[in-house]
Amino acid sequence: MDFREVYTPPFKVTDGGIFIKAANGVKAFTVAAKNLEEEANNVVRVLNDEGGEKYDAVMTFGDNKIITSHASVLVTRGFGHLIGSANLSLEEAFKTQDEFIEWVVKKLEK
């Protein structure tokens, strides 16, 4: 499955910057940052090709976390949707989420 079928752009910030959701309502990320709403909005602007400041360094750690050079942490969400509503096998769900994470890292890094 193409990750864009689940993590459908454009993205938006919700709940004061705590979450980033896809256009179809699927939670894409939980955000942890010092300037929560500001960082979440910047990530969304970059992902949506609406400007924003790209990061000097972006890396993944663990199964589903992305950290930026601003020490922001994005915890990738939506796995329950992938194995539930999207009815993917565990293998296909992991592959879809991994492809989404790879795309996000490439988009955010300078």
- Looking at the structure of the chain, the number of domains it has is 1
Band of pLDDT at residue 24, cut at 50, 70 and 90: very high
Band of pLDDT at residue 62, cut at 50, 70 and 90: confident
pLDDT at 2 over 90: yes
Band of pLDDT at residue 105, cut at 50, 70 and 90: very high
pLDDT at 63 over 90: no
Closest CA to 79 of 67, 68, 63, 66: 63
- Would you say the C-alpha torsion 82, 84, 89, 91 has a positive or negative sign? positive
Q: Is 62 left (phi over 0), alpha (psi -120 to 50) or beta?
A: left
Q: What domain range includes position 10?
A: 3-108
Mean of the per-residue pLDDT values of the chain: 95
pLDDT of residue 61: 87
pLDDT at 41 over 90: yes
pLDDT of residue 42: 96
